[in-house]
Chains A and B, each alone.
Chain A
């Protein structure tokens, strides 16, 4: 449901990384450009403009979404999380694994890779290689970090399972 307050005549209010932001860009502006140029959050990257490469991946209500083809007009009342704002035990485990495995080379695709990986591990605690393929195939890397991304995802998943196993939860 789009709230009247969130679509004013001269802009749209969207929650980004927990803050309410008033975006004055034209409604058909892709979220990617509103993030990078109006808000100044440059962690989300431009790679193709056609949702073919995944460099622009953010979370929309927690789900990985390609921001280069998502107009801001579609976002009223939604929660956007970018690489700058993603947090919690899954994000921590993914960041830690990424560093431990030394995944990144040029790093340009990695914001999108990390967001996709966090999305996967939020819904799947022990992803198989096939599930990793499906979740990550939309994120292109030209530096060849795929083998290490796979290793890091398995490592993060194991760390999360160990952490939840050692607590009394569930």
Chain B
């Protein structure tokens, strides 16, 4: 009765429209809604490539290049289908258009377990894909770029190839079946026409159907093609945001509230105004985008602006959070994790009941701190505001939101704002936020018709980050009288990065969607538990939090993979054998695990080097962003208790590896980034202020501490999955598990710290 009523309502005017939209196929992603202006003689065959008269093929990539190699990888995808020579390829960042919206990240971000494939799941994913195509955003992140652009760019390249073939056949008056593509030219019999000669006429030969190459015919994809940006970056020629020079540009430095939600009470504006080179002293209110209140100084050079900021001598209203401390925060998180049940993200069987009747319970509480992104490039942005419009020069993961921030702050329409995207000196998720862009726009408004480059100091960057949330988790495992694992429960507590980020970006409705990233890494793993309950309690705290490389996986993997070793120990099973027993229905994950064990020599004694500290191995397996990685770490501990990682063997199954060299780079990079965090990463708060400000307080990994890294890519023809982040989550638990094997000390808190002399404690 109710169901029929719902359908009747749905068939009303609005309902019919909704049904109509829902039934239409996802819109094409080939042709942008606005035409592309290209230089004379250059033709845009679709939204993803242009061909110049001299045969240069420019691949239009809508993803930010922040070190992950995506510009090279996506250029390879298009070049493969297009059939041009690699030497003809250049890459350019795309403008903002709906065809470039990130569909994959949102679809893959839905809270479905990777094993779930039923019709309901498929329709939800399909509908989400459709809406993201239409109303979504351009976004680089979630290790989704390759998957997101895989089909659109293959179609773009193939469609262009077919157009060029048809154009050549038409020009020569032959049947297109007698023509073939050869390294950027069309050959028909003895005639050869270059792409550059054919591009203009190819526009009128758009194919009805596009035929993609079979994977077996790939000649470029799957090869370790050198990165397109390698030479420029070795010569300092890449143009980062701060390298842009606009005629008449001025420079700004900022002084931002040291406490969360503090405001400037008093400062020496008059004194600073008279300093050499100073053009303006600008009060900053901050905005919902997350930029803090403070004061900016604009001057002829950045050094003058920075000296101006130093001379401001700001006295602050500390605001309501002035007594916030890490001790209080962790106490709050512990209370939340240890009481109540949390919001479940996955329930298999009745895990709490199983644990209540278990013969033995293994129980542990794990903790992880706030982490800073600390990319090498401190944040900066350049904005020029005129009556007619504004220009923004910035490296951003979300160009649409960046444009929107400038528009909102300046009162201009979005289409009056031009965004110049730049390569990024590392982001790791920081530039999913546009706080520093909104701030730059506000500062630039103080000096209209002038480009103003706002450069943050390292201290600004570190103290005004959106941190990886701190978290606490209580894990329990039940073991029955026969010594079998019966259930696992995990209840974590921490802030929700997704929810606060949504509010900052102006999509507050997203606040009501449960944030799967809070517990990801626990509810979404391939392990076959007969009973599992993975839950999270979101805690509201004033610390600004955001997405940090691998997001929830970054701490949940440490909690979960360390705890699995504790369970293995309780069951007197080897950590590899224990995990293998839980992956019998997941051959891809099982293969990654066993290959890592094999390649690392798991089970074989480690060669003792006389005079050198003893070593031990630890393993961790983790699935994230569609990819499974296992790592074995070889670790020693010094007399002072300093953990040293000597070697990491990493096995990765990321589906078809577009460029094995880039995959290896990303695994190496994720291991190093994860190791820095595991050994030293900690942002602490005292008196409402972030303590750490520069690299002497927030220790980065250095060359001498870097392990030997061996990366093994599982050969695969499956759809490519994420590569930028999955190498990070297994690192901390692999190291902690090795430390336990070596010393008998179980470390349940990050960063991993041992007391002096712990090395002698001996393994069990």
Give CA–CA (A45, B672) in the complex, Å: 22
Selected contact of B425 from candidates A95, A108, A148, CB within 8 Å: A108
From B710, which residue of chain A is reached at the shortest CB distance?
A: A147
A11 within 8 A of B: no
From B709, which residue of chain A is reached at the shortest CB distance?
A: A147
Interface residues on A, range: 35 or more
From B711, which residue of chain A is reached at the shortest CB distance?
A: A147
Contact A48 B458 (CB under 8 A): yes
Interface residues on B, range: 35 or more
Q: Chain A 95-127 against B: per-residue CB contact (8 Å), 1 yes, 0 no?
A: 100110011111111110010000000000000
List A75-95 residues whose CB lies under 8 Å from chain B: 82-84, 94-95
Q: B233, B377, B661, B696 — which one has the most chain A CB atoms within 10 A of its CB? A: B233
Answer whether A136 and B703 are a contact pair too, CB < 8 Å, given A50-B458, A99-B230, A104-B229: yes
Give CA–CA (A132, B378) in the complex, Å: 27
Give CA–CA (A82, B235) in the complex, Å: 10
A144 within 8 A of B: yes
Give the chain A neighbours of B304 by CB distance below 8 A.
26
Contact A144 B231 (CB under 8 A): no
Q: Report the minimal beta-carbon distance from A68 to chain B, rounded to whole angstroms.
A: 10
A62 within 8 A of B: no
Give the chain A neighbours of B374 by CB distance below 8 A.
142
Q: Report the minimal beta-carbon distance from A50 to chain B, rounded to whole angstroms.
A: 6
From B72, which residue of chain A is reached at the shortest CB distance?
A: A102
Contact A102 B457 (CB under 8 A): no
Contact A142 B695 (CB under 8 A): no
B148 within 8 A of A: no
Q: Chain A 132-162 against B: per-residue CB contact (8 Å), 1 yes, 0 no?
A: 1110110111111111111000000000000
Give the chain A neighbours of B673 by CB distance below 8 A.
142-144
Contact A102 B301 (CB under 8 A): no
Contact B236 A111 (CB under 8 A): yes
Q: Chain B 665-699 against A: per-residue CB contact (8 Å), 1 yes, 0 no?
A: 10011111100100000000000000000111000
Give the chain B neighbours of A52 by CB distance below 8 A.
694-696
Give the chain B neighbours of A2 by CB distance below 8 A.
none
Give CA–CA (A102, B456) in the complex, Å: 30
Contact B233 A45 (CB under 8 A): no
Contact B669 A105 (CB under 8 A): yes
Contact A137 B376 (CB under 8 A): no
A44 within 8 A of B: yes
A30 within 8 A of B: yes
Contact B378 A103 (CB under 8 A): no
Q: Report the minimal beta-carbon distance from B207 to chain A, rounded to whole angstroms.
A: 36
Contact B665 A102 (CB under 8 A): yes
Give CA–CA (A114, B230) in the complex, Å: 13
List B260-300 residues whose CB lies under 8 Å from chain A: 276
Q: Which residues does B use to contact A, with CB under 8 Å? A: 66-69, 226-227, 229-240, 242-243, 245, 251, 276, 301-304, 374-378, 423-426, 428, 455, 457-458, 661, 665, 668-673, 676, 694-696, 700-704, 706, 708-709
Q: Which residues does A use to contact B, with CB under 8 Å? A: 25-26, 29-30, 33, 36-38, 40, 42-50, 52-53, 55, 82-84, 94-95, 98-99, 102-111, 114, 132-134, 136-137, 139-150
Listed by A's residue number, 16 A-B pairs whose Cβ atoms lie within 8 Å are: A46-B242, A46-B455, A94-B234, A105-B68, A105-B426, A105-B669, A106-B376, A108-B240, A108-B426, A114-B234, A132-B703, A141-B376, A143-B669, A144-B671, A144-B672, A147-B706
